[in-house]
């Protein structure tokens, strides 16, 4: 009767990624279209697109600069497995990037150099991964594992997730794009961010239920360990020893638990770690060459020019969020959930609901959030948008997008409080001075070289009845709601910055977009000007842009477009 005993610590560089001894063959970007394909042993310089079910990517090194995912699993594709891969972004030209983007089984991967380690879009198993050294260009809002709504049945177990930045999270769970249910976060080593973990139901996507954080080892973020808003997840068995455990990573001290295996059975002892055994082998199939087409065109995101001090995560993956009221005041926060309520004076009163540590830090502000899809522009198409805001004690950090090199003026109510200058990619950041204990509503306005504020151009909210509508845009910045399918959306030349909020791509009752042939000759031209921006598709041509909310570029086909 054979017996083996092994010790396994938390995931780090020594026990994740491509196993030692694996010989890698060079490859460019891959697009996988055959169900059941297995790809192994490649050194991929580029992006992997999984467009078919039950595809496995294993024992590969994948290095790519992308504003979506280094590994992208198409919307609706199930059965994908990514295991024992070393996945790296370049840290440049990758604003909004994810190491893995999609749903599936993700085991034993070493992920770094991206904005978000994983962006999860459906039922998934996430186990034994090492997510660390996040890095992205532009104005990133870092999340180790990001679940932005519309997901259920996700298991996150025995991963190491480290966010070295003092904002956003190691694990983000929110209802921005839809309801959340049955998310299990168990026996992980989690550290960093603004708060280490979020369960945030303050958005309008639906309810959050069945979320649990159990037996995790926590290292505090800048403001604390937990931020739970408008929901009450299970939080038991967690200990705040993450900082000390992180020091043992990549050393012999990272021993974790002891596993004893006798004739196929496993017995586990010890206080940390787990006994999961993974492996791979067999025949490798799949393409080793080829390349993908990277969509061109500019990036335009919907948003608003008014925001407030808020600890709302916001940022490149949360466009369109505006807040109407917020407060900033110092309160005692001891790695707890803090519930704040504004009184008639705008001050806040905080009540700790759980104490896990003794550290005292200022709490972030609360906010009442709503969503809009408006952009301030002048007749020349200049624009300024707020993409996220954070309250840090008595200061507000506000980020947004404008024209490259534009000057942005910031107002607190009617009073101008400062200016910012957009970089070459259009991103700008403003940090306020110390704020009083009151409600602070900020407005961002782009000004020209003469100091004139850009005036708002004309635009419309174009809403259809219950299906089979023909909706025609104006020359301004329009927001379309078809209210049923199939609908036809008509755009002339120079249509501005427009948004379709409920576009239905491909399949039965698909919607149709009619474009001018002077701007787009055919469907291939559209694809060459389209790119994935978070959960949306943005199609750009010159000063015009069309944003298709909650749409994946891989779902578009020629039948969705008409040219006249």
pLDDT, tens digit, 9 for 90 and up, residues 209-238? 999 999 999 999 988 999 999 999 999 999
pLDDT for 290 beyond 50: no
Give the CA-trace dihedral at 114, 120, 125, 126, to 10 degrees: 20
Higher pLDDT, 88 or 496: 88
pLDDT at site 87: 97
Over 50: is that where the pLDDT of 304 sits? no
Task: Show the DSSP H helices in 465-506 as ranges.
Answer: none
With 80 as the cut, is the pLDDT of residue 32 above it?
Answer: yes
Q: What is the mean pLDDT of the chain?
A: 73
Model confidence at 77, in pLDDT bands (50, 70, 90)?
very high
List, in order, residues 6 or more apart from 275 with CB less than 8 Å away: 8, 257, 259, 266, 268
Q: Is the pLDDT of residue 328 over 70?
A: no
* Alpha-carbon separation of residue 152 from 155, 251, 291 (angstroms): 9, 36, 33
pLDDT > 90: percent of the chain = 41
- Model confidence band, residue 360 (pLDDT cutoffs 50, 70, 90): very low
Pick the range with the lowest mean pLDDT from 184-198, 243-257, 341-355, 391-405. 341-355
Q: Which has more confidence, 129 or 319?
A: 129
C-alpha 169/C-alpha 223 separation (Å) is 11
Would the pTM count as exceeding 0.85?
no
For range 320-327, the mean pLDDT? 26
- Examine the pLDDT at 115 and tell me if it is beyond 70: yes
Token pair, residue 554, equals: 């891989």
Contact 53, 77 (CB under 8 A): yes
Please name every residue paired with 71 in a beta bridge, in sequence order, or none if there are none: 48, 100
C-alpha triplet 376, 380, 383: angle, nearest 5° = 30
pLDDT at 453: 57
In this prediction, residue 460 carries a pLDDT of 59
What are the b/e assignments for 373-388, b being 16+ CB within 10 Å? bbbbbbeebbbbbbbb
Both structure tokens of 396: 């507000």
> Using CA atoms, how far apart are residues 252 and 238, in angstroms rounded to an integer?
24
What pLDDT is stored for residue 101 in this prediction? 94
Inform me whether the pLDDT recorded for 148 exceeds 50: yes
- pLDDT greater than 70 at residue 523: yes
pLDDT of residue 350: 26
Q: Which of the pair, 64 or 322, is modelled with greater confidence?
A: 64
- Better pLDDT: 440 or 77: 77
pLDDT at 356: 26
pLDDT of residue 438: 57
Question: In the prediction, which pLDDT does 95 show?
Answer: 74
pLDDT of residue 437: 57
Work out the burial of residue 476: count CB atoms within 10 Å of its CB; fewer than 13 is exposed, 13-18 middle, 19 or more buried.
middle
Q: What is the pLDDT of residue 419?
A: 82
Question: Residue 107 and residue 130: Cα distance in Å, rounded?
Answer: 10
pLDDT at 301 > cutoff 50: no
Q: Are strands 383-392 and 395-402 parallel, antiparallel or unpaired?
A: antiparallel
What is the per-residue pLDDT for 421?
82
- Tell me which DSSP letter residue 193 carries: S
What is the end-to-end Cα distance of the chain in Å, rounded? 76
Q: Is the pLDDT of residue 111 over 70?
A: yes
Residue 450: the pLDDT is: 54
What does the pLDDT read at residue 469? 83
Most trustworthy range by pLDDT among 17-21, 347-351, 440-444, 517-521: 17-21
* 374 confidence band (pLDDT: 50, 70, 90): very low
Residues comprising the chain, all counted: 564
Residue 355 clears pLDDT 70, i.e. is over it: no
Q: What is the pLDDT of residue 47?
A: 93
The pLDDT of 62-78, averaged and rounded, is 88
pLDDT band at 96 (very low <50, low <70, confident <90, very high): confident
User: Could you tell me if 33 and 52 are in contact, meaning their C-beta atoms sit under 8 angstroms apart?
Assistant: yes
């Amino acid at each position: 009767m054979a017996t083996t005993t092994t010790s396994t610590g938390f995931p780090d560089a020594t026990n994740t990624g491509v196993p030692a001894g694996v010989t890698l063959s060079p490859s460019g970007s891959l697009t996988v279209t055959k169900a059941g394909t297995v790809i192994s042993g490649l050194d991929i310089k580029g992006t992997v697109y999984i467009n078919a079910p039950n595809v496995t990517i294993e024992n590969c090194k994948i290095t790519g600069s992308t504003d979506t995912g280094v590994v992208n699993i198409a919307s609706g594709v199930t059965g994908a497995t990514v295991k024992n891969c070393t996945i790296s972004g370049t840290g440049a030209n990758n604003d909004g990037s994810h190491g893995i983007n999609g749903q599936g089984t993700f085991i034993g991967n070493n992920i770094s150099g991206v904005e978000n380690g994983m962006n999860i879009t459906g039922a998934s198993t996430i186990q034994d991964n090492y997510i660390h050294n996040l890095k992205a260009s532009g104005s990133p809002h870092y999340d180790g594992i990001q679940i932005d709504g519309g997901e259920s049945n996700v298991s996150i177990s025995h991963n190491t997730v480290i966010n070295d930045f003092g904002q956003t999270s190691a694990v983000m769970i929110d209802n921005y794009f839809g309801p959340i249910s049955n998310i299990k976060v168990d026996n992980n080593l989690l550290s960093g961010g603004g708060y280490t973990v979020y369960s945030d139901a303050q958005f309008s996507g639906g309810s959050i239920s069945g979320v649990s954080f159990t037996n995790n080892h926590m290292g505090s973020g800048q403001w604390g360990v937990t931020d739970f808003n408008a929901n009450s997840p299970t939080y038991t068995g967690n200990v705040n020893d993450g900082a000390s455990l992180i020091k043992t990573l990549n050393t012999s001290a990272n021993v974790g638990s002891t596993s004893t295996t006798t004739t196929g059975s496993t017995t586990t002892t010890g206080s940390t770690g787990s006994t999961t055994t993974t492996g791979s082998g067999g025949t490798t199939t799949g393409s080793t060459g080829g390349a993908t087409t990277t969509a061109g065109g500019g990036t335009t995101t919907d948003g608003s020019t008014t925001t407030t001090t808020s600890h709302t995560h916001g940022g490149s993956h949360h466009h369109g969020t505006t807040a109407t009221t917020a407060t900033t005041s110092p309160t005692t926060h001891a790695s707890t959930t803090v519930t704040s309520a504004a009184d008639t004076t705008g001050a806040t009163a905080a009540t700790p609901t759980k104490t896990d540590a003794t550290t005292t830090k200022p709490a972030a502000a609360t906010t009442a959030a709503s969503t809009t899809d408006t952009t301030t522009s002048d007749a020349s198409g200049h624009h300024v948008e707020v993409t996220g805001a954070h309250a840090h004690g008595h200061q507000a950090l506000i980020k947004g997008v404008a024209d490259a090199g534009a000057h942005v003026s910031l107002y607190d109510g009617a009073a101008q409080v400062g200016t910012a200058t957009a970089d070459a990619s259009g991103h700008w950041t403003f940090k306020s001075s110390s704020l009083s204990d009151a409600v602070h509503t900020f407005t961002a306005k782009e000004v020209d070289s003469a100091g004139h504020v850009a005036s708002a151009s004309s635009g419309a909210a174009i809403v259809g009845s219950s299906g089979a509508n023909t909706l025609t845009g104006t020359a301004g910045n329009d927001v379309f709601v078809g209210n049923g399918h199939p609908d036809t959306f008509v755009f002339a030349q120079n249509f501005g910055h427009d948004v379709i909020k409920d576009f239905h791509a491909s399949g039965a009752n698909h919607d149709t977009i009619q474009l001018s042939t002077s701007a787009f000759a055919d469907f291939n031209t559209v694809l060459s000007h389209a790119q994935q921006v978070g959960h949306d598709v943005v199609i750009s041509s010159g000063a015009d842009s069309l944003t298709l909310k909650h749409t994946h570029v891989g779902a578009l086909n020629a039948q969705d477009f008409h040219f006249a």
